[in-house]
Structure 1
Amino acid sequence: MTDTIKPTARKSPKKHEAKPPFRASQEFADNLQRLHVDLIDLHLQGKQAHWNVVGKNFRDTHLVLDEVVDAARAFSDQVAERMRAVYITPDGRAATIAAQTSLAPYPADEIDTAETVDLITAALYAVVGTARDIHEVIDSADPTTADIIHTVLERLEQLAWMIDAENRIANRSIPRPVHE
């Protein structure tokens, strides 16, 4: 004999209303969405590069790409969770990423390590460009969210410098170092 569980009558819930002291504007939301999309695409491009890099200094390049992927994944999650905290719905669907990313497409084939360095550096700087572009609007509205952007900038610029150094030529590459 089978017992069936009868659903209990459910009362409609009382209206719920939160009263947060800060709630994002549409411009704020759009800007964070831009950064979120670029971080997700950076993660995807980093994995594509990681799987398909070949050539001289393969192992170091292969391993540093995992650092890029880890940072991009962690930052995209942190940005998305901050978006939810200020009542923005993040959109990380594949079609959205493809339609909205500011990163150049990454090649599908094997890529030599030197070209991989240039491509990933460009992708890192594209995300940094987005973060810098949105920073003023975010900071003026919510310094707490701007702190997240500062962390993103600090780490991604560090990674770009470290990765780009692989292809730099001492005292001849551009940009030139600034001296006192």
Structure 2
Amino acid sequence: MTQTLQHTAHPAFQASRQLADHLQQMLVDLTDLHLQAKQLHWNVVGKNFRDMHLVLDEVTDAAREFSDTVAERMRAIYVTPDGRAATVAAQTSLPAAPTDEIDTADATDAIVASLYATAGTARRIHDEVDAEDPTTADILHTVLERIEQLAWMIDAENRVANSSIPRSITE
């Protein structure tokens, strides 16, 4: 028989319910993003296939790394992350990924929409996260910087110079 000892920690900081919920949503969207990128990676066909195939792996890798960073931050501030498939499916704020083969141009639009949805979650929760825990907000800054960079770079594949919306801001 094993003896159970009680352990008491005295953390300098513990997340509120609101912070926990925000980080859970960020985790869900990042998890869905990496699954969607892989789904597209497996099913993309058409012009520039190889480039799109490889860039989708970049998105997968970034989203997986960020989801792990967010989940580990959650544990550090005494929040239990939930990355189960059923939870991700029920709580994602990303548009659904296609289930069949997809042309490279359509795959571009699909992954960019999911990247921007993920960035939208980070932007939506940022100020409330920052007010409670600037350290966690720094993680959101890193996520935003890379996710929006990927969205811009991938979206450029379908843009038409001086004709796409949104237009670049010029002086």
The aligned counterpart of 1:89 is 80
Matches within 5 A, 1:1-180: 9-13=1-5, 15-180=6-171
After superposition, the C-alpha distances for 1:74-94 in whole angstroms (9 at most, x for unaligned) are 000000000000000000000
Report the secondary structure of 2:88's partner residue.
Answer: helix
Q: Return the offset for 1:12.
A: 3.1
Query: Which AA in structure 2 matches 1:120?
Result: I
Identity of aligned pairs, percent? Answer: 70
Structure 1 unaligned blocks of 5 or more: 1-8
Q: Return the offset for 1:16.
A: 1.1
Q: Quote the Cα distance in structure 2 between the aligned partners of 1:10 and 1:177.
A: 66
Structure 2 unaligned blocks of 5 or more: none
Q: Quote the Cα distance in structure 2 between the aligned partners of 1:140 and 1:147.
A: 12
Q: Quote the Cα distance in structure 2 between the aligned partners of 1:56 and 1:34.
A: 35
Highest Rg: 1 or 2? 1
After superposition, the C-alpha distances for 1:125-169 in whole angstroms (9 at most, x for unaligned) are 000000000001110001000000000000000000000000000
- TM-score, length basis structure 1: 0.93
| Equivalenced residues, count | 171
Q: Return the offset for 1:11.
A: 3.2
After superposition, the CA RMSD in angstroms is: 0.7
Query: Which AA in structure 2 matches 1:74?
Result: E
